[in-house]
Structure 1
């Protein structure tokens, strides 16, 4: 199953949150948040995990980018989330994209 791509745009509600978002030295990191999209940035479909419950290939569900300089995930890594729609098992993988 492929979910259509839905861009996620962070919305800050406080001054503290506004200061936390973004990078001084990188214009791309912190902007790669999305739901679905069929394929993730940085992981090919052949590398998608198999469900631990039923051994079927999991569906790419979302990716969450690093937030900013103060909350960076190991040099601008992205969290890729996968779900099995049969078992509702989830798995997250952290990658450098």
Structure 2
């Protein structure tokens, strides 16, 4: 199953949150958040299998690093998967080309 892609746009609610977003040296990192669709730079053949029921999991979301102060190991993203059969979730850190 593929969920339709929905772009996520950060909407900080405080000055502190506004200052946490983004990178001085990279315009792409920190903007690659979305729900559904397909994860960037990952083939469907590489989607994880559910640890509980052994079925292929569905890609659910890609969450990018927030900004320089909350960077995930050099601008990594988190790929989130869900098994719709037993509602198990799995997350993977991935290094993308920015």
TM category (shorter chain) comes to over 0.9
| Number of positions where the alignment pairs a residue of Structure 1 with one of Structure 2 | 96
Asked whether 1:21 is paired with 2:21, we answer yes
Which residue in the other structure is 1:53 paired with? 52
Moved over 3 A (4+): none
What is the TM-score of this pair, normalised by structure 1?
0.97
Aligned-partner SS, 1:4: coil
> Is the contact between residue 23 and residue 30 of structure 1 (CA under 8 Å) also seen in structure 2?
yes
Superposed counterparts of 1:34-53, under 5 Å: 34-37=34-37, 39-53=38-52
Asked whether 1:80 is paired with 2:79, we answer yes
Q: 5+ residue gaps in structure 1? A: none
Give, in angstroms, the shift of residue 67 of structure 1.
0.2
> Is the contact between residue 42 and residue 96 of structure 1 (CA under 8 Å) also seen in structure 2?
no
Which residue in the other structure is 1:91 paired with? 90
Distance in structure 2 (CA, Å) of the matches to 1:18 and 1:72: 15
